[in-house]
């Protein structure tokens, strides 16, 4: 088992791969820019008009921008893995790191750590920047649930990136994964979520976003909701591992 774990050289190699592709690095930066930027702009526009103008749950309203940032997180996760399925790039990578488990774990670890770091910075900046425009309706970092939401939003973004990364390894195409995931979180989950009641709360994005709510209803609490999302991401990452291990390159 030890022989299949990532090593410093394989992690270093994956880091160079990510930062040398414009689209992938751009996706990572867009996580912060989209989430915090849209949050600040929306709060500046309507945040002070009346209490609850950005939503009934003031904590969830503080993370309005995450609906956009999560798409950037998917683009990053999918892009980091999809680069291997461009032409025969995977053959070059596997010739350099023949142990496929080590290769895959190095990539997933690099994606996860970068998304988590970016996510945590995003979570804090979004909260502070967004609330700066809320005037007398602003929340403080000390208010109930805010620390949980700051930390949870970073975890949420990282899990979204890992979900997309794992699915891309299964389906071997970033385009296919994004054209499934983006409509899913923007439309399907939203529409089904309103209609289907009970079961819909277990969808990855719905469950994960519970960590951003001040109060939760239904079976799942904020952390158990994030746990459900982590299971979805883990299933995708596991599926990707099986696909990378089994298939001819």
Partner 1 sequence: MNSIEIRELTKAYGAHRAVDGLTFDVLPGRVTGFLGPNGAGKSTTMRLLLGLDRPTSGTATLGGRSYLDLPDPLHRVGALLDAQSAHGGRTARDHLRFLAAAGSIPVRRVDEVLEQAGIASVAKRRIKSFSLGMRQRLGIAAALLGDPGVLLLDEPTNGLDPEGIIWIRELMRRLAAEGRTVLVSSHLMSETSALADHLIVLGNGRLLADTSMADFIDARSTRRVRLRTSDPGRLRSALARDGFELAAAEEGRWTVEGIQAEQLGKLAAREGIPVLELADERASLEQAYLDLTADHAQFTATR
98 belongs to the binding site for partner 1 (CB under 8 A): yes
Helices (H), the chain: 8-19, 22-46, 58-61, 66-82, 89-96, 100-131, 146-171, 174-183, 189-196, 204-209, 222-246
Q: Are 210 and 216 in contact (CB under 8 A)?
A: yes
Tell me: does residue 94 bind partner 1 (CB under 8 A).
yes
Whole-angstrom Cα distance, residue 216 to residue 214? Answer: 7
- The verdict on 215 binding partner 1 (CB under 8 A) reads no
Question: Smaller CB distance to partner 1: residue 14 or 205?
Answer: 14
Residue choice 5, 12, 56, 147 for contact with partner 1 (CB under 8 A)? 12
**Residue 248 makes contact with partner 1 by CB under 8 A:** yes
Does 23 interact with partner 1 (rule: CB under 8 A)? yes
Closest-CA residue to 130 (of 189, 58, 80, 223): 58
| Nearer CB in complex with partner 1: 102/148 | 102
> Would you state the torsion angle of the CA atoms of residues 173, 14, 162, 167, taken in this order, to the nearest 10 degrees?
20
C-alpha count within 13 angstroms, C-beta hemisphere, residue 233: 27
| Shortest CB 27 distance to partner 1, Å | 13
Interacting residue with partner 1 among 45, 52, 56, 86 (CB under 8 A): 86
Is there binding between residue 116 and partner 1 (CB under 8 A)?
no
Please choose, out of 11-19, 182-190, 199-207, 219-227, the segment that lies near partner 1 by the rule CB under 8 A: 11-19
Interface residue list for partner 1 (CB under 8 A): 9-10, 12-14, 16-17, 20-23, 83, 86-89, 91-99, 248-249
């Amino acid at each position: 088992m030890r022989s299949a774990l990532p090593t410093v050289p394989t992690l270093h190699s994956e880091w160079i791969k990510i930062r040398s592709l414009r689209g992938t690095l751009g996706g990572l930066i867009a996580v912060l820019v989209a989430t915090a930027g849209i949050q600040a702009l929306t709060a500046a526009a309507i945040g002070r008009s009346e209490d609850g103008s950005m939503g009934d749950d003031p904590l969830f309203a503080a993370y309005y921008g995450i609906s956009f940032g999560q798409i950037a997180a998917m683009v990053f996760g999918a892009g980091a893995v999809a680069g291997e399925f461009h032409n025969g790039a995977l053959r070059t990578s596997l010739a350099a790191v023949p142990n496929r488990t080590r290769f895959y774990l190095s990539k997933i670890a690099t994606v996860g750590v970068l998304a988590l770091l970016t996510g945590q910075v995003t979570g804090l900046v979004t909260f502070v920047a967004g609330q700066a425009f809320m005037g007398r309706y602003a929340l403080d970092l000390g208010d109930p649930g805010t620390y949980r939401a700051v930390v949870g939003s970073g975890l949420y973004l990282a899990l979204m990136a890992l979900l997309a990364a794992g699915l891309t390894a299964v389906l071997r195409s970033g385009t296919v994964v994004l054209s499934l995931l983006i409509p899913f979180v923007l439309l399907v989950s939203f529409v089904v979520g309103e209609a289907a009641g009970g079961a819909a709360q277990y969808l990855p994005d719905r469950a994960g976003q519970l960590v951003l709510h001040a109060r939760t209803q239904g079976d799942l609490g904020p952390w158990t909701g994030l746990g459900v999302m982590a299971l979805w991401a883990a299933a995708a990452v596991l599926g990707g591992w099986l696909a990378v291990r089994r298939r001819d390159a």
